[in-house]
A and B are shown apart, each in its own frame.
Chain A
Amino acid sequence: AQSVAQPEDQVNVAEGNPLTVKCTYSVSGNPYLFWYVQYPNRGLQFLLKYITGDNLVKGSYGFEAEFNKSQTSFHLKKPSALVSDSALYFCAVRPTSGTYKYIFGTGTRLKVLA
Chain B
Amino acid sequence: EAGVVQSPRYKIIEKKQPVAFWCNPISGHNTLYWYLQNLGQGPELLIRYENEEAVDDSQLPKDRFSAERLKGVDSTLKIQPAELGDSAVYLCASSLGTTGELFFGEGSRLTVL
> Chain A residues in contact with chain B, CB under 8 A?
32, 34, 36, 41-46, 49, 51, 90, 92, 94, 99-102, 104-107
**B42 at the A/B interface (Cβ < 8 Å)?**
yes
B residues near A107, Cβ cutoff 8 Å: 40-42
Among B6, B93, B102: residue with most chain A CB under 10 A: B102
Q: What are 9 of the A-B contact pairs (CB < 8 Å)?
A: A43-B4, A43-B91, A44-B91, A46-B102, A49-B101, A102-B45, A102-B102, A104-B44, A107-B40
Question: What is the number of residues of chain B that contact chain A, defined by CB distance less than 8 Å?
Answer: 22
**Which of B64-72, B76-84, B104-112 forms contacts with chain A?**
B104-112
Give the contacts of B43-68 with A (CB-CB under 8 A).
Answer: 43-45, 48, 56
User: CA separation between A34 and B93, bound complex, in Å?
Assistant: 15
CB of A100 within 8 A of CB of B98, answer yes
User: CA separation between A103 and B91, bound complex, in Å?
Assistant: 15
> Chain B residues in contact with chain A, CB under 8 A?
4, 6, 40-45, 48, 56, 91, 93, 98-99, 101-107, 109
A residues near B104, Cβ cutoff 8 Å: 36, 43-45
B residues near A102, Cβ cutoff 8 Å: 45, 102
Give the dominant DSSP class at B's interface: loop
CB distance from A102 to the nearest CB of B (A): 7
CB of B40 within 8 A of CB of A101, answer no
User: CA separation between A11 and B9, bound complex, in Å?
Assistant: 29
- Given known A-B contacts A101-B45, A104-B43, A107-B40, A46 and B101 have beta carbons under 8 A apart: yes
CB of A43 within 8 A of CB of B42, answer no
CB of A44 within 8 A of CB of B41, answer no
User: CA separation between A113 and B42, bound complex, in Å?
Assistant: 24
* Nearest B residue to A44, CB-CB: B104
Contact of B43 among A41, A44, A49, A100 (CB under 8 A): A44
B residues near A51, Cβ cutoff 8 Å: 99
* Nearest A residue to B109, CB-CB: A41
